[in-house]
Amino acid sequence: MMSDLPFQPELQISAIRLYQTEIPFRLSFNHASQQRAAVTGIVLQLSSACGRHGFGEVLPRPYVSGETDASVVAALREVVLPALAGQCFVSVSAILEYLGNFYQQHPALAPSASCVRTAVDLALLDLAGQCLQQPLATLLSAGLSETGSAAPTQNSDIQYSGTYGLGDAALLNRYQQAYQALDLRAFKLKVGLDLNAELALLSDLQQSHPQASWRVDANGAWSLTQARQAIPQLLALGVQCIEQPLAANDQAGYLALFAEYSRVVPLMLDESFCRWSDLGYLLDAGFQPALNLRVSKCGGILSTLALAALARQHGLMYQLGAQVGESVILTRAGQLVAAVLGDCRYHEGAFGDYLLCHDLQQPSLRFGAKGLLSNAALQTMPGLALQIDQALLNDCSRHCDSWFAGGRSG
């Protein structure tokens, strides 16, 4: 069982590096809330006294978890990492206990600081697998299958979706050509600015991808009135899921919308959902929202798996989501979650250097034809199956802080 595995010798956090990164995009990506030509993020590297390394990544978004790059960096710098430097773990169970009591271990943190926990969760679990020289997927499946929280890790490929953002005709045409060459079978279309134009675009794209399924994401841009106008017309075009139709805090609007449409089409929450408590008002009213599980916003691998277990208990549909611009680190974490769960309705992410000018490992981790990405590395490589290029990471970094077992160096 995962929690019974000891470290020999014990795992000591001998060095920590906190990178603030920026990676430009090959193509800009836009939706109703944001326009991006690059991605800024945070990478955490934990090193053990035995010479192994573990990596975590977060992409904080204030409109999702309420966190920013600056707030996450400050929390890690001032609260978490000074306490973690030099800490020893005798077994995997000690790591699980630390992560399970993360906010109690660091009482200065608010429980809403989910990206802070994600960075540590990914890096520490990856490091555990590296030190044991065992795949993290195997460790997680062994531990969680006994509790019924997860199925055995899926050996088959995962099939990812494409996403069409908002933009001019030239930009959309470049995405369309790339997606057609890959023969993708599922897509999400960003909407929320001009319904008539978006309906026309969807109709055109369906002609270009005749075998594909479609869903839409308004990123909270609609009012209740606009959602009531849009949803029937989107359903008429065969849309299978409506994501984040209203603003994240519009509880009255969501109660009304679920009363009208939840039996007709899945209504998926993203920006409205980071913690299980966010769903209380809908569950109490008898509704079953679909959930977008994004590792970065949900507090890491363990928290995401725990949220999925709760969703199963309540009969809720969920998908694997992704932040725009994830590197190989978050991509592997999401792939691992999907492989362990085995029943995500849709899978997003794994764009790698289709979108990024360069990933943090070469070759980049990305889906291939028909959106397929093999799980083979998760079964055979230790930890998160990462091969981070340290030179690339350094080149992408705007700033790096370091801590060692004896204290901070800068």
pLDDT at 3 over 70: no
The label of the residue with tokens 């680190």 reads 329
Amino acid in position 168: D
Residues β-bridged to residue 213: 186
Could you give all domains of the chain from N- to C-terminal order, each with its CATH number? 2-143+387-408 (3.30.390.10), 150-380 (3.20.20.120)
Residues 73-87 have a mean pLDDT of 97
pLDDT at 359 over 70: yes
Question: Is residue 93 within 8 Å of residue 3, measured between CB atoms?
Answer: yes
The SS3 call for residue 319 is strand
pLDDT at 84 over 90: yes
Residues 362-383 have a mean pLDDT of 97
pLDDT of residue 143: 55
pLDDT of residue 2: 53
pLDDT of residue 144: 58
Residue 107 burial by Cβ neighbours in a 10 Å radius (0-12, 13-18, 19+): exposed
Question: Is residue 39 within 8 Å of residue 109, measured between CB atoms?
Answer: no
Distance CA 235, CA 221 (A): 18
With bands split at pLDDT 50, 70 and 90, how would you rate the model's confidence at 178?
Answer: very high
pLDDT at 278 over 50: yes
Residues 237-261 have a mean pLDDT of 98
pLDDT of residue 1: 38
Residues shown for the chain: 410
Residue 164 token pair: 């069409």
pLDDT tens digits for range 14-62: 999 999 999 999 988 876 666 788 999 999 999 999 999 999 999 999 9
Residues 289-317 have a mean pLDDT of 98
Radius of gyration of the chain (CA): 21
pLDDT of residue 188: 98
Q: Which residue has the higher pLDDT, 29 or 381?
A: 381
Using alpha carbons, select from 58, 76, 46, 145 the residue that is nearest to residue 404.
46
pLDDT tens digits for range 117-159: 999 999 999 999 999 999 999 888 765 554 445 455 566 899 9
The per-residue pLDDT of the chain, averaged, comes to 93
